[in-house]
Each structure stands twice: as C-alpha cells, then as structure tokens.
Chain A
Amino acid sequence: MGPFVPDPISNELNLVIALILGVAFGFVLEQAGFSSSRRLAGLFYGYDFTVLRVFFSAAVTAMGGIMLLSYFGLLDMGAIYINPLWLWPAIVGGAIMGVGFILGGYCPGTSICAASIGKIDALFFVGGIFLGVFTFAEMYSSWHAFYESSALGPIRVYDSLGLSAGWFAFVLIAVALIAFAVTSMIEKRVSPFAPSREFHIRRHVIVAAATVLAGAFLIALPNRKERVMTEVSTPKHLAHCETKYMTADELAFRLVDQEPNIQIIDVRGPEAFAQFALPGAVNIKIENLFGKEWNHLLGQRHVKKVLVADNQDNAIEAYHVLDEIGYRNLAVLEGGLLGFRQQILSDAPSDLAMNSTDEVVQEFRQEARGTIETMIKEQKDKPKVEAKKPKKVAGGC
C-alpha cells in the first residue's frame, strides 16, 4: 500500500525518485508550452488558454487517480501530505502571486523550465524569486504573526463545502469541462492564432464525454472503509467466505507453550481492553484495521492472527474485514473472550462429563489457568505494542 516513503523507500532513494519525477515534470511542462511567457500570460488576456487546459486536466487526473487508488486499498490517504490551510496567508500570498504572474509572465516551476531552454526573461524571473524569498526571510519578524495566523490545519475542500468527496470531484470535472468549452470559444474570437483552432473537435467531445462518465462513477464510489464494512455484513458474503476458528483450549495451549507465531488481536474498545486482556494481545478497533499503521503486525503471513472480542460475532466481523483487505492466516476465537474466561480462567468446574479424556482436558485447563493468569499479571508491566504511526511525509514548497 502506498505511499512507500519512508518505508520501504529510504530517504536517500527518495531523492533519486524526486530527480526522476522532476525530469518527467519538466519534460511535460515544456512540451505543454509552459516555457513560453507569452503563452502563459495569454490565459489572462484571452488569446491562449493553454495554462487552464493543462492545469485543470492535470488536477482532475491526479485527483481521480488518488480516489481510485485509495478505493482499491492501494494508497493510504491517512499517510499522504494534505496541504494545511492558513486561510488569510493563503489568500494574501495567492493574491501577491497573482500580481507576480501578470507582471512576470511565469510562475516558479514554469520559469525554471523556460530558463532551462535558454529563455532570458525566465532567468530574470528566477533571479526575482531569489530576491523575493530573501526579502521575505529578512523581514520575517515583521510579518511572523500574520504568517502563522488563521491556521485551520489540513482540511479537505469537500468537507469545507459540505459535499461528499465523489460529488465534489464530479462538480470539479463538470466545471473544468465547461470552462474548456467556453474558453475555447473566447480564444477563437480573440485570436486568429488560437491553439483551439487546431483541435480535433469530435475526438475532444468523445474524451470529454468519457470524462463525465468517469466523474459520475466517482460519485457512486463509496469510501473504501464503508464499502468493506457493508460488504462483509451481507449474508451472501458470509455464506461465501468461510470463517476459521480456534477453540479456547487451542489458544490456551499455544499461549502456555509461548508459541511465537501467534498474535492476538483484540477488537474491543480500549476501556474493556484495559480491564482485561489476554497475554500479548494488541488492541485494534475494527475501524482502525484499514490504514498502514498496523500493517507490520497484520501483514506477517507466518503469524496466525487470532481475533477476539467479548462475543464471537464482533470478532467474525473483524475477520471478514481483514480477509477482504487481503490479510491471511486469520482465526476467530471460538466462543469469544467470555467463553475463554469461562472455560479456562474460571474456578467453576465446567460442565464436561467426567470421562478419562475430559479429565485430561480438565487437568490441562487447571494448569493453563495458573500460567495464563501469571502471564496476564506480568504483562501489565510490559510496554504496550504501539501502532506504527505513519510518519507524515513532508510536502508543499
């Protein structure tokens, strides 16, 4: 599951990837015509809307791709960089950049691109950026307070607008397509050399229609968590997918034996877990099984993950969620924790009829009870296994 930084891709290798991505970025920008300031400025005067076309096509493509990757469980949205918002600094900074765009005809990325192919005006612009950053830094103390003001954190635009992510994506796609059509008409009226005069109309309409369909698909795309949770609770799914169980006796035996290839996953709430937990158990609520943070435990194929809850049913739900995500080597504790406590950890002789095999079982349970109770006591002093909080990747400029 992506992203692959910092694990398994090291920070050094990440720099090599940055270089490769940069080559692709620069190549595409230049091919798109972003190395031409007249072309970039055309956006604001109506004679060339290339910037709008490239910019929105790119944003929509990346956005749709991210939503799909996340839906199929290939990308952990909790681990990628979401630009945090400082509202007023973003507005003022954006406005300053807007004026800079008109005066200078470039933005930083495009100016470096243009300077690379020898555009002299771009070299002056790049020099200007150095001056600007230097000025900002030297005067930092005088606008430090404003710089840090109205911090709203990494909020998402669809939450800000009260839409679902899918609906927002669809609206964005629709707005982009309408803007493409309208600006092409404006461009043709303003300039005899408008790039849109060379567009192959029919092909463009077909691609646009396909994009609208893809956008409609995004609306229907539920959040992956919701989809998996609903799917595993349907009777059809339960009938289709067999659940593997582990009896209380087997678990007790493996615990007493201190078998290393076993990991108890307790899916109850933290309060219940704090009161009573089996030795070595890790507390993960079902909602938290989806991200990368428990991957290091759940992903070990040679380790049997035994799911426990008070009763068997909640553990079965967790079993199917994990199975659906793609984790293997799972089992549900038969009878749940309540059953385990009754059979193994209680004084009352269980209701087994006393024949010779049952006596052996009874004896074993007596023994196991002592050992496991000591293990539970000892464990209280041991450090807890923590979720591997995905180190948030740095981002932005």
Chain B
Amino acid sequence: MHQITTKYMNPYLAGFLLGLVLLMSIFITGRGLGASGAIKSSVVTIVNGIAPEHAANSDYYGPYVEEGKESPMKSWLVFEMVGVILGAFLSGLISDRLGFVSERGPRIQNSTRWIFAVIGGALFGIGAQFARGCTSGAALSGMAVLSTAGFVTMLAIFGTGYLVAYFFRRLWI
C-alpha cells in the first residue's frame, strides 16, 4: 500500500463547497453541473467536421447539426468544462500538483493502466448516453434536485462498482 502523499482539502469541507457551487448553478441558471455533455458536443463537432453528410443523416447527430443551428460547441456544458480545466489547473498550480504522471495500482504496468483507462472511459461514454448524464450531470445534480433519476443513476453506478470491484482488484491493490 502506497501512501498518497499530497495534502488535499478536508473532504467534508470540499463537499460542502462543491455543494455550494452546485447550489449557485441551480439558483442562477436553473440547471446543475455536468461533464459528459461537453464531450458529446465535441464528438458531434468532430464528426460533423469530418463527415458532414453522415452527421446530418444520423438520428443521433442530426438534431445537433441542423441548418441554422448554432455550433454544438456554443453550449453551456462546453463553457463549463473549459472552466473546469482552468479551475483544476489553477488548483494544481497552487497546491503544486502539476506534472505528467500516471497513477496505477502497484501490481500493473503503465501500459495496462492506460488500456484499462481507455476501456473505462469508453464505457462511461456509452453509459452516460443511456443514463442521460454521468456522475456529475445525472447522479450529483439529479440528487440535489431530488429527482428519482439522480438516485437511480447514482445507485446503479456505485452499486455495480462494488459488485465488480473484486474481479478487477489487481488493477488497484
């Protein structure tokens, strides 16, 4: 077991602050925070740039790239995500955590970690479409407004995580 050395904020205080940010978001704009939606917008934009006809004919991309519609990049979540990148970088800078490193369990190589990171990301990308949001947009924001969807998604994510954690323990411990 390796110690995670860098000093982080007290998690309850961090949670309280995160809750306030989420509350401000809902109070001012009427919507919660999100993450995966920004990547969806990026995917739509990339596909539309490379193969515009394909995008226009697709049931999924179609509604986003209709004529006269603004670019999907001019969306709330994309701007919010640009902010997240800036904010996280700023935090890393202040707390001296910037650096090109990979984190992994002690029993695997970096290459294994990267392969599983891609697979995990891909699963999150697919799952977030079905659930209409990820841990931020569906689970956290959904729970804050007491939507059933938020709680169902949260239980499904973490419940499944615990169910399968044992089989993939080599990746982490």
Chain A residues in the interface with B (C-beta under 8 A)? 2-5, 9, 14-33, 35-39, 41-45, 47-48, 50, 53-63, 65-66, 69, 74-75, 79-87, 89-122, 124-138, 140-141, 143-144, 146-147, 152, 154-160, 165, 168-169, 180, 191-193, 195, 199, 204, 207, 393-397
Contact = CB atoms under 8 A, between A and B. Distances in A.
A32 B15 contact: yes
A134 B43 contact: yes
B19 A59 contact: yes
Nearest to A16: B79
B20 to A, nearest CB: 6
Interface string B124-152: 11111111111111111111111111111
Contacts of A101: 120, 124, 157, 161
A128 B99 CA distance: 21
Interface residues of B, number: 131
Nearest to A20: B83
Given A37-B103, A65-B23, A19 B79 contact: yes
Contact of A137 (B43, B92, B139, B173): B43
A211 to B, nearest CB: 9
Interface in B83-101: 83-92, 95, 97-101
A297 B125 CA distance: 45
B135 to A, nearest CB: 4
A103 B120 contact: yes
B145 A82 contact: yes
A25 B29 contact: no
B79 A15 contact: yes
A16 B146 CA distance: 27
B24 to A, nearest CB: 7
B147 to A, nearest CB: 4
22 contacts: A18-B76, A26-B86, A27-B88, A29-B88, A54-B15, A66-B144, A81-B30, A85-B149, A90-B132, A103-B120, A104-B116, A116-B86, A121-B114, A121-B117, A125-B120, A130-B43, A133-B129, A135-B122, A135-B125, A141-B59, A159-B148, A397-B40
A87 B163 contact: no
Contacts of A17: 28-29
Given A61-B20, A128-B124, A159-B148, 11 more contacts: A30-B88, A33-B4, A33-B14, A38-B4, A62-B32, A94-B153, A94-B157, A98-B159, A99-B123, A104-B116, A108-B135
Contact of A112 (B32, B81, B95, B157): B81
A79 B130 contact: no
Nearest to B12: A57
B126 A59 contact: no
A132 B12 contact: no
A122 B168 CA distance: 18
B38 to A, nearest CB: 8
Contact of A132 (B6, B77, B126): B126
A96 B51 CA distance: 29
B41 to A, nearest CB: 10
